[in-house]
Structures are given as C-alpha cells and as structure tokens.
Amino acid sequence: MKAEEYPFEAALAALAWQVELGADEAVGEMPIDRFAVAERAAQPDARQRAPVPAAPAAIPGREAVLRGAAEIAEACTDIEELREALAGFEGSRLKKGARNLVFADGMAGARVMVVGEAPGREEDAVGRPFVGRSGQLLDRMFAAIGLARTARSRDAALYITNVLPWRPPTNRDPAADEVELLKPFLFRHIELARPEILVAAGATAARVILERTEGIMRLRGRWAEWRGIPVMPMVHPASLLRDSSRKRGAWADLLAVRERLDGGGSQ
C-alpha cells in the first residue's frame, strides 16, 4: 500500500508507530503561548461571534385575534350561525379545557334575556347555562314574576346566556383578556336575540354590558341601557345562596323588571 494512495491509513499507521515508541503528546514545529490562547478564548473576536438566529415566522398579534373575533361575530346573521361560529372558534384558550360549548337556553326572541358570568361544572357537563344550584334559584326567582325558560310564548319566555361560553378552569373568575376576546360574540348575541329587557346577573355581566367598573351592589336596582335596550343589573343567584340578606334587593329588582314588562317603570 502506497501512502499517497491511502493518506488516512498511512497517517494512522504512523500515529500507531509513535504510540508504540512511547509518545504521549503531539508537539508542533512552532511553540504556542498557552496563556495568550486562554486570554483570546475569554475575549473572542467580534468576527467569531455566533450568528444571530433568523427571526421566527410572524405570529398574529393580540389585536389581530381580537379583530378576527369581532369580524366573525359580526358576520353572523342569525343565532344559529352565531352558535356554529362559536363552536368553531379556536381563538380562546378556555375552549381547550372545557367539555362543552355552553351557548344559551330558553326561547331566542323572548322579551327578557338574562346574561350571567360563565358556566360552572354542571353547565359544562350538559352544555346549558344555569343548571346547577344557582340556576335552580334563578328559575324560581323568575317564575315568581311569571317568566320561565321553558315557556312557549314570547311574553312568558326567558332567554339565558353567559358572558363566556366555556367554563374557566376550576370555576375561577373570568380573566380580563378572556372577556375582551369573547365580548363581540356576546354583543352580537344580544343584537340577534333582540330582547326588550336585559338582566345582567352578577358583577361580570354588569361591567361588560354597561362598561362600568363599580361593584354589583352599587349597580343593582338601577335601570341602565345598552344600545337602546333597558338593562337591569342584579346580584348573581350564586351570591344569594351565599348571602341570603341580599334576597330582598333581588326581589325588588325582579318586581322592577315585571313592572317594566307591564308598561310601567322608567330608566
């Protein structure tokens, strides 16, 4: 075998021969200042810096996501289209942790529309709003003024939904960004349902609909307005279960709703 034909094998054989002779270090022809090498390693030349990684592909910003949600909601021409649009909407992180879309219950087009906060565990399980203990109390409250979600006439019917259509994990309070993202769907829902009266049940619903920051105890019992529709803020039924002393005020608010339906009352 000639070295010029097989340079690698020749070099390997030469190295093995030197190891057999006892060589344990490779020495070059020129001396090397190891201290200088260490200093240069600690302060690398700018030309040897790692290249800047390429920028990642552009990700739609929050404004674009919000704009997209508003456009989807606005394009819906009826309530069924809105339900389908929400079912197919992938922009909310809440959807990933929920079992079901909780859209609405009762008669669309009822004179009174109730807006709550968000689904709980029971609502998430069956896909309907207000079916747990607070929902049962809500049914009894409105039954006392002649309204029910099961009624078949528009005058006696109730239409119920929530600010959020998916359950927040562990029933926590809705986050501000979650509400902001899904608000266009709620507002379009109200526009398409066209109620004569809106009942905002709880602080979250009242703040979103009225764009106010006060607590529910300051807002409740006072007529307000959303795009020409009278709004009655009320304490959420879940709060009444925790504090029965608030039931007197809730009853007064219900009577105000009944009076308004009967042609009396004012904003």
173 in a structural domain: yes
11 in a structural domain: no
Residue 216 has pLDDT above 60, yes or no: yes
Q: Any residues with CB less than 8 A from the CB of 137 and at least 6 apart, and which?
A: 237, 240, 241
188 in a structural domain: yes
Domain count, the chain: 1
Residue 200 has pLDDT above 70, yes or no: yes
Q: Is-contact 123 207, C-beta < 8 A?
A: no
Question: Between these two residues, 138 and 60, which has the higher pLDDT value?
Answer: 138
Res 55: pLDDT: 46
Residue 34 has pLDDT above 80, yes or no: no
Could you tell me the residue range of the domain that residue 89 belongs to? 62-261
Strand residue runs (E) in 117-267: 158-162, 197-201, 224-226, 229-234
Give the CATH number for residue 130. Answer: 3.40.470.10
pLDDT cut 90: percent of the chain above it = 74
Res 58: pLDDT: 46
10 in a structural domain: no
Candidates 205, 225, 223, 224; CA nearest to 215 is: 205
Q: Is-contact 99 202, C-beta < 8 A?
A: no
Q: Is-contact 107 191, C-beta < 8 A?
A: no
34 in a structural domain: no
Q: Is-contact 175 185, C-beta < 8 A?
A: no
25 in a structural domain: no
55 in a structural domain: no
pLDDT (tens digit, 9 = 90+) per residue, 114-168? 999 999 999 999 999 999 999 999 999 999 999 999 999 999 999 999 999 999 9
189 in a structural domain: yes
pLDDT (tens digit, 9 = 90+) per residue, 176-185? 999 999 999 9
pLDDT (tens digit, 9 = 90+) per residue, 248-262? 999 999 999 999 999
